[in-house]
Amino acid sequence: MNKFLALLLLFPLVLTGSPEDLLLSKQNRMLLSPLQEVIQSSSVTISDDQNLSIGYGCLVSTDGHILTKASLIENLTQLHVRLDKTRYPATVEQTSLSWDVALLKIPLTEGAPLKLEPSSPKIGEIIISNGVTSLLSRRLKFGIISAHARPIPLKEASIDLEAYTRDDDGKLYIKTTKPNGSAEQAGLQAEDQIISINGEAVTDLTKSLDDYFEGLWPGTEVSIEIRRSEGSFAYSIPLLWRQEISEGPQDRNEAMSGRISTRRTGFPMVLQHDIALSSRTVGGPLLNLSGDCIGMNIARFSRSETYAIPAESMQQLLQEWGIK
């Protein structure tokens, strides 16, 4: 698509404030048709065991290789994808924990894969993603790149207890443990003083407990040293996903964000944009105005932040897995 025409097309946004208004007129639909065709031919919908749509994927090879968000599909026993109007069974060939990406394969011989564009889009650049999806068409959603590309530290792990600082001595104590949770089962008790975590003395009381677990994956065993009246003890406790511990939003921003992704941190590099996706609509491509794929949506972080894996990183993963 001619970029000048595309910018003229997007000018009504200034007047209407609604990206969906771009699709109302016949003229606009004609101008958008090349981009809509890219989405239609190379973006797949992924279905769960009950044939309900749970996310998107990106067709990346002519013979049916697809990239998607791995944690979307990790508990599925049957996996199907819909490419254009055809439904295919899919198998998982590879996964990457660090990127939260899975490589799927469908029985395809002549697909129209995305053209990956390994460039660095600028802040404010207009980008396009999947909007509402039906069996007949993939619709478009518009936004902008809203921050510089950067790594996102892993902050998903926690333990199922609540701590507080006591006024009389200024030290950190356990307030409560979750009934029948991992901390309680390990032997931790209310009013235990926390001395150290993984060998690091707990002296900086401005840090939260979760700050001690930054960069660690849920499932990692951590050592908690405590002191109580009968002496000092060390316990080994597995870290949990935060969402396993606390149901519902953690703060006001999360409460206003709709369906955010369970896994939304710990990525080596992301592009940040402002397209309002949800946890059920990530995994699909992020396009520029030329119809090139500049990334794959990997996490809905908050009401104003969505993360995408850059196309360059997608290419590196495919090369590691021997996909051309």
Kindly write down the DSSP assignment for every residue of 264-304, as one continuous string.
Answer: -S-EEEEEEE-----TTS-SSEEE-TTS-EEEEEEEEEETT
pLDDT of residue 59: 97
What does the pLDDT read at residue 135?
52
Mark whether 166 and 129 lie in a shared domain.
no
288 plus 162 within the same structural domain: no
Instruction: List Cα–Cα distances, 104 to 26, 88, 91, 110, in angstroms.
Output: 36, 11, 5, 16
Show which of 213, 245, 277 is a domain's final residue. 245
Same domain, 310 and 207: no
Model confidence pLDDT, tens digit, residues 54-80? 889 999 999 999 999 999 898 888 899
**Residue 79 · residue 25 · CB < 8 Å:** no
Which strands form 65-69's sheet, in the order they lie side by side? 86-89, 80-83, 43-47, 53-59, 65-69, 101-105, 91-96
Hey, what's the torsion of the CAs at 38, 57, 28, 304, to 10 degrees?
-140
* Domain termination site, one of 210, 245, 280: 245
Residues 147 and 290 in one domain: yes
Pair (146, 187) in one structural domain: no
pLDDT for the residue 256: 45
Report if residue 251 sits inside a domain. no
Residue 256 counted as domain residue: no
The span from the CA of 298 to the CA of 282, in Å, is: 6
Both 201 and 140 in one domain: the answer is no
**Same domain, yes or no, for 18 and 75?**
yes
Q: Is residue 254 part of a domain?
A: no
Q: How many C-beta atoms surround the C-beta of residue 91 within 10 A?
A: 10
Task: Specify if 44 maps to a domain.
Answer: yes
Q: In terms of residue numbers, what domain contains 172?
A: 157-245
What is the pLDDT tens value at each position of the chain, 324 positions in all?
Answer: 445 445 555 545 444 445 555 555 667 767 778 888 899 899 999 987 777 888 899 999 999 999 999 998 988 888 999 998 899 999 999 999 999 999 999 999 889 999 999 888 999 999 999 865 555 566 788 899 999 999 998 887 889 999 999 888 889 999 999 999 999 999 999 999 999 999 999 988 888 888 888 888 888 999 999 999 989 999 999 998 776 776 554 555 554 445 677 888 889 999 999 998 888 889 999 999 999 999 999 999 887 899 999 999 999 999 999 997
**CA-based angle 313:318:321, to the nearest 5?**
130
For the chain, give the mean pLDDT: 85
Whether residue 179 is contained in a domain is answered as yes
Inter-residue contact 146 to 273 (CB < 8 Å): yes
H or E segment to which residue 33 belongs? helix 26-42
Q: Residue 25 has what pLDDT?
A: 63
Number of domains present in the structure of the chain: 2
Q: Residue 163 maps to which CATH number? A: 2.30.42.10
- The per-residue pLDDT for 216 is 87
Q: How far apart are CA 199 and CA 221, in angstroms?
A: 13
pLDDT at 154: 84
User: Do 131 and 42 sit in the same domain of this protein?
Assistant: yes
Q: Which residue has the tokens 């001619």?
A: 2
**Same domain for 105 and 228?**
no
State how far the Cα of 65 lies from the Cα of 296, in Å rounded to an integer: 14
170-198 core/surface letters (b: 16 or more CB in 10 A; e: else)? eebbbebbbeebbbbeeebeeebbbbbbe
The C-alpha atoms of residue 199 and residue 78 are separated, in whole angstroms, by 43
In a domain, 252, yes or no: no
Per-residue pLDDT of 162-175, as tens digits, reads 999 988 888 999 99
pLDDT value, residue 262: 80
In a domain, 257, yes or no: no
pLDDT at 267: 94
Q: State the pLDDT at residue 228.
A: 94
**Is 145 in a helix, a strand, or coil?**
strand
Q: Which of these three, 192, 210, 245, is where a domain ends?
A: 245
Dump pLDDT digits (tens) for 224-242.
999 999 899 999 999 987 7
The reply to whether 172 and 127 lie within a common domain is no
Same domain, 107 and 143: yes
| Within a domain: 240 | yes
User: Given this model, what pLDDT does residue 120 score?
Assistant: 85
Among 258, 182, 280, 274, smallest CA distance to 224 is for: 182
Clarify whether residues 135 and 166 are in a common domain: no
pLDDT of residue 186: 93
